[in-house]
Amino acid sequence: MKAALAPSSLTSLSYRTNSSSFRSSLLFRSPSSSASMTTTTTRGNVAVAAAATSTEALRKGIAEFYNETSGLWEEIWGDHMHHGFYDPDSSVQLSDSGHREAQIRMIEESLRFAGVTTDEEEEKNIKKIVDVGCGIGGSSRYLASKFGAESIGITLSPVQANRANDLAAAQSLAHKVSFQVADALDQPFEDGKFDLVWSMESGEHMPDKAKFVNELVRVVAPGGRIIIVTWCHRNLSAGEKALQPWEQNLLDKICKTFYLPAWCSTDDYVHLLQSHSLQDIKCADWSENVAPFWPAVIRTALTWKGLVSLLRSGMKSIKGALTMPLMIEGYKKGVIKFGIITCRKPL
């Protein structure tokens, strides 16, 4: 799944929305320095240059991470690189196929929550899909088959794009589904092209959430849906300016291994979407529904096959595996939230 850059400069951005103005920080650490550096707009060009370098380093780190780890993930977990959706409090130890079903259920629950599959007319109108941060294309192939639609997936990892195209060809879907290396923050598509804009567990990698949302809004067609399913931190309460230091420390450790910039909350996403005059903006916290996922991943990593594959895969995978307990801790302590945020572009 995810891994890490050794992040290191702290860039604060503020952006204004219709309903409120809020601050979000972007956190990177340069591999050469462990000291945090705060850059603000007052530092002008220096800050911009530092942010650009950090963004480039992050992109490279993400690409290398997924180049290295995707084969291992596919071998053990298959082609969906996202959490499963489970009934809350389900304590059953599922078989491998049970977890795969839970990953498919995540896709189905997301479509239902967004209102895509509860409206026959809307479902029929889904002809073009973009899968933003597509992994090895599990969602794209599933969605294209389900809706009889075309899907284009983008990823930073050339290894993933190649593998996703090979799998599409093997499943006789190459005429419907294709994958390419492209940046979600600068998508190579014209405005209003897609009826469904799908981002399953890629938003947490985006160093500029405002730009990310701008791009999703730009490429969605009038009347189309945007579905963002992503790792968030908890919403801040009224008057609270930032997470507690211990909470931030926990997230920083996860960022280091999983190549993530600073996190934001579901409220932050909602505010960003509100600033674009979108309709039906909805969000939910599905943290309870994903709780069995990481313990299951750890259990598979600890099997003989899992351990051998991990060692073969390399340091990034090993570091990723060692960070998994921190994800469980983050969920248990309520710092990490598994969020879904959806909306519709007006006709």
**Binding flag, residue 163, ligand SAH (CB under 6 A):** no
Shortest Cβ distance from residue 102 to ligand SAH (Å)? Answer: 13
Residue from 47, 168, 200, 250 touching ligand SAH (CB under 6 A): that is: 200
CA 93 – CA 99 distance, rounded (Å): 9
DSSP 112-171: HHHTSTT-HHHHHT--EEEEES-TTSHHHHHHHHHHT-EEEEEES-HHHHHHHHHHHHHT
Binding mask 4-43 for ligand SAH (x = CB under 6 A): ----------------------------------------
138 lies in the binding site for ligand SAH (CB under 6 A): yes
Which residues does residue 177 pair with via DSSP β-bridges, in sequence order? 151
| Lookup result for tokens 């103005």 | 21
Q: 21 near 2, Cβ under 8 Å?
A: no
Q: Which is nearer to ligand SAH, 27 or 304 (CB)?
A: 27
Q: Which CB atom, from 120 or from 161, has the smaller least distance to ligand SAH?
A: 161
Query: Which token pair is 232?
Result: 């968030």
What is the CB neighbour count within 10 angstroms for residue 222?
A: 10
Segment interacting with ligand SAH (CB under 6 A) among 154-162, 188-196, 261-269, 306-314: 154-162
Site string for ligand SAH, 76-105 (x = CB under 6 A): ----xxx-----------------------
For residue 72, give the 3-state DSSP assignment. Answer: helix
Is-contact 30 18, C-beta < 8 A? no
Could you say whether residue 156 binds ligand SAH (CB under 6 A)?
yes
By beta-carbon proximity to ligand SAH, the closer residue of 7 and 133 is 133
Q: Which residues are near ligand SAH by CB under 6 A?
A: 62, 66, 80-82, 133-135, 138-139, 154-157, 160, 183-185, 200-202, 205-206
